Amino acid sequence: MKSKSDFFQLIYDVVREIPKGRVTSYGAIGKYLSSGKSARIVGWAMNAAHSQKKFVPAHRVVNRNGELTGKHHFGHPKLMQKLLEKEGIKVKHDKILNFKKLFWDPAEELKM
């Protein structure tokens, strides 16, 4: 019992490992941490990421469809898109362009 929410910390750690200009999905993170952990847990963690001391690039995490589903949780709906575009990611109609190409899978990149 190192923390009251180990899962959250693990999730945040993975999210911080996402390279700039890349994105991943909630399901991919959940799968990487524990093959099959519901993606909802990841989304739930992102909801709490706001309270973390360290910055968590939650804007690099989208759903499996590449849609900015969590944009409303950044304080302002346009902030998430703004952050993504700032990193060179094109966003159109709340969806990431070339999502398939920009997709960063922790299970593939952080695998051993």
Partner DNA sequence: TGGGTGACCATAG
Partner DNA sequence: ACTATGGCCACCC
Contact 75, 90 (CB under 8 A): no
Contact with DNA (CB under 7 A) among 12, 70, 91, 102: 70
Question: What minimum distance in Å lies between the beta carbon of 35 and DNA?
Answer: 9
Contact with DNA (CB under 7 A) among 50, 76, 78, 86: 50
Contact with DNA (CB under 7 A) among 42, 91, 96, 102: 42
* Contact stretch for DNA (CB under 7 A) within 22-30, 83-91, 96-104: 22-30
Contact with DNA (CB under 7 A) among 16, 20, 64, 90: 64
52, with CB counted inside 10 A (0-12, 13-18, 19+), is middle
Residue indicated by tokens 């524990």: 34
Q: Give Cα separations from 40 to 11, 25, 89, 91, 107 (angstroms).
A: 12, 11, 24, 23, 18
> Encoding tokens for residue 81?
């898109």
Task: Tell me which residues touch DNA (CB under 7 A).
Answer: 4-8, 25-27, 36-44, 46-50, 58, 61, 63-65, 69-70, 73-74
